[in-house]
Each structure stands twice: as C-alpha cells, then as structure tokens.
Structure 1
Amino acid sequence: MKSKEARELSVAEIEKKIRDSRTELVNLRLRKQTGQVEKPHLLREIRRDLARLQTILNEKKAAESTSAA
C-alpha cells in the first residue's frame, strides 16, 4: 500500500489494516520456518507497509490531539 492511499483512510481503517498486516506477517514467518514460503520478498513488503501505516496513524493522532487542545 502506498502512503498516499493510506493517508486517505480513517484512523479506524488504518488500525484494522495494521492488525491484518501483523497477522499476515506472523503467518508468513511461521511458513518461512517450515520452508513453505514461495515469495520471501513479501516479508519485507509487509514489514515496510506496517511501518508506513503506523507512521501515518501516529501523524493523524498527533494532528487530532493538537487540534483538540
């Protein structure tokens, strides 16, 4: 997911995507340990998407807290 697409999502949608990404990452790690990963590059992509989503979520929460104060 591109950062431009993620910025258009609401906070709740971003949190849901983060949960889904973490679950997917755990599943991929388990499959990697058993040697069943067909596309190992997905591990890096999911990790980076997860970091991107968390950064955008933190930015949105910071913007909400400053505008509420």
Structure 2
Amino acid sequence: MKTKQRFSDLTAMSADQLQDELLKLKKEQFNLRFQRATGQLESTDRVRVVRRDIARVKTLQQQKLAEAPKV
C-alpha cells in the first residue's frame, strides 16, 4: 500500500521535481552509508527503502524522457 502511494506521488512530479527528489535521496543514501560504517545506523531497513526509491525515480525519469516529443 505504501509503495503504491509513493509511486503515485512520484508520477505526479515534473522532471525538475524528480531531479530534486533524486538528489535528496542520494544525500540520504550517503548519510545512511556513513552511519552504517560508523556503527550508528539504527534502522537498517531504511537503506533498502531509499535504494528502491532511487530506482523508482530513475525509472520515472527515463519514462518521461521517452514520452517527451522528439525534435
């Protein structure tokens, strides 16, 4: 249920908003990796969720790029 809701939110975003979301997720992924390396990570499942969200955003970006009219 939660991933469907997240996916519908992402599909409503524009290309610029998706790029901003991707940047935000990559920063979060970096911080989570850093926390895991220093032994401070409490929520290990968040790493997987962020990684999958990054894949969703990249997939949507490619779909929007393919749908864009070619000049």
Calculate the TM-score normalised by the size of structure 1: 0.91
Distance 2:52 2:40 in 1: 22
* Structure 2 unaligned regions, length at least 5: none
What stretches of structure 1 move > 3 A for 4+ residues in a row? Answer: none
Distance 1:30 1:40 in 2: 12
Partner of 2:52: 48
Partner deviation per Cα, 1:6-65 (whole Å, 9 max, x = no partner): 00000000000000100110110011011101101000000000000000011001101x
* Structure 1 unaligned regions, length at least 5: none
Distance 1:7 1:40 in 2: 27
Calculate the TM-score normalised by the size of structure 2: 0.88
**Number of aligned residue pairs:** 67
Aligned-residue CA RMSD in angstroms?
Answer: 1.1
| Secondary structure of the corresponding residue to residue 68 of structure 1 | coil
Identity %: 27
